[in-house]
Amino acid sequence: MSFRVVFRPEIKEDVHQFSKVHQYDGRQDFKEAWTEWCEEHQDELESEYAYQCERGFKMTLADMIQKLYVSSRYYHRKKPIIAPPQKPRTKYVRIEDDLLNAMRDHITYYLEYGMEKPSIMYTDFCDENGSHIQLEIERLGAEYDMTKNQVNMKLKKTYKNLYYVLSKKT
């Protein structure tokens, strides 16, 4: 049995409108306005209660009204009128397999023979694989129009994520 009551769109819209009208009311004023609203919309609430009972929800009318009140007070009241625009998805930047394998081998070696902090391991990796890293900086700079600093941050994040994954396996 589901405990999540999904109300019909009509009642949700009425509750949302009520919440926006009383958005800046204090707690006591909001509760008084809610009581008045419930009396004015008694028929719609009883209709919604019958609908929810048909769907198999075992609750009283007072429980349903309480659920609507909580929804109104703590959700609809704070919900923005206009949803913020979604950020465009960034293109995935893929690291070359040779460099990933070198990272994997380096991490595996350190995990087997004395684990250190990932930041120290990454610094050691950069010292040992400077030529690999320089080639990757040039490739990503040309292919994805990334700066040297952006590529270094990407490599560092990739290394630390790989460290996390491999350390969890062992």
DSSP string spanning 123-139? Answer: HHHHHHTHHHHHHHHHH
Q: Give residue 3's pLDDT.
A: 64
Q: Give residue 80's pLDDT.
A: 76
Q: Give residue 5's pLDDT.
A: 83
- In this structure, the number of other CB atoms found within 10 A of the CB of residue 95 comes to 17
11 CB contacts (<8 Å, ≥6 apart)? 44, 45, 48, 68
The answer to whether the CB of 41 falls within 8 A of the CB of 14 is: yes
> Tokens 């990932």 — which residue?
118
Is residue 116 classed as helix, strand or coil in its secondary structure? coil
- Give, for all 170 residues of the chain, the pLDDT tens digit: 456 788 999 999 999 999 999 999 999 999 999 999 999 999 999 999 999 999 888 889 999 999 999 999 988 888 877 877 888 988 899 999 999 999 999 999 999 887 778 989 999 999 999 999 999 999 999 999 999 999 999 999 999 999 999 988 87
- How far apart CA 56 and CA 29 sit, in angstroms, is 34
The answer to whether the CB of 71 falls within 8 A of the CB of 15 is: yes
Give the pTM. Answer: 0.53
Establish how many alpha carbons lie within 13 A of residue 102's alpha carbon, considering only the half-sphere containing its beta carbon. 18
